[in-house]
Chains A and B, each alone.
Chain A
Amino acid sequence: SYVLTQPSSVSVAPGQTARITCGGDIIGSKSVHWYQQKPGQAPVLVVYDDTDRPSGIPERFSGSNSGNTATLTISWVEAGDEADYYCHVWDNRSRHYVFGTGTKVTVL
């Protein structure tokens, strides 16, 4: 089955940039989506189709996808960005939806 690998944790100071990677075999050929999940809450879609943002999501959240790595970038990080982040794809070969292992972002 298709596997998505994320770093377990990323630490960043306020005002700096956080980059969260999502590795998968030729992931650049797939549409990647990203979710933010705060403790005790449901996930929230922050980036879809590699680079697009749903309405209401700040421009500070951006995505890219190429080769074997997709990246979620959070610019000008704020304390409120502290959360778990998950990448997500549809694997047409297995007809499965797959989530990444998740990354905990800590704002120092």
Chain B
Amino acid sequence: QVMLVESGGAVVQPGGSVRLSCAASGFAFGRYGMHWVRQAPGKGLEWVAVMSSDGRHIYYGDSLKGRFTISRDNSQNALFLQMHSLRPEDTAVYYCARDYHANSGLSASGFGIWGQGTLVAVSP
């Protein structure tokens, strides 16, 4: 069964750090680009970051300003998001998502598989 499972969500104070993990199963993880997408409470979807299947292409959404780092370990079928200098506006459910099509570089593909999400709440 194709599955993505996020973990690591927490309640943190402003300025704090959190590391999210996404465990993949049921497919050839190393063949797909992977993304983080977030959704603030009651708001729409916001793309956060992408890492291509080979790890050579990495891009971030404009609002992150160098505070977040995406990484992956293809040998462990895992995706990560390290978040620093967290702000209240970073409060959101964070989803990991997989490209619909396998691709070695960046892809214009839709996101075919999503995890259930993990909540990060930034509050004093």
Contact = CB atoms under 8 A, between A and B. Distances in A.
Nearest to B115: A42
Contact of B47 (A44, A45, A98): A98
Given A45-B100, A48-B112, A49-B109, 19 more contacts: A31-B108, A31-B109, A31-B110, A33-B109, A33-B111, A42-B116, A43-B45, A48-B100, A54-B100, A84-B44, A86-B44, A88-B111, A89-B108, A90-B106, A90-B108, A92-B108, A98-B47, A99-B37, A99-B46
Contacts of A100: 44
A93 interface: no
A5 B45 CA distance: 13
Contacts of A102: 44-45
A76 B114 CA distance: 27
Contact-residue bracket for chain B: 20 to 34
B59 interface: yes
Pick the most buried of A1, A42, A86: most chain B CB atoms within 10 A of its CB: A42
A95 B45 contact: no
B95 A45 contact: no
Contacts of A48: 100, 109-110, 112
Contacts of B100: 33, 45, 48, 54
Interface of B: 35, 37, 44-47, 50, 59, 61-62, 95, 100, 106-112, 114-117
Contacts of B95: 42-43
Interface in A42-74: 42-45, 48-49, 54
B114 A42 contact: yes
A10 to B, nearest CB: 15
Instruction: Name the prevailing secondary structure of the A interface residues.
Output: strand
A94 B119 CA distance: 28
B105 to A, nearest CB: 12
A101 B108 CA distance: 19
Interface in A1-40: 1, 30-31, 33, 35, 37
A43 B62 CA distance: 22
A97 B114 contact: no
Nearest to B109: A48
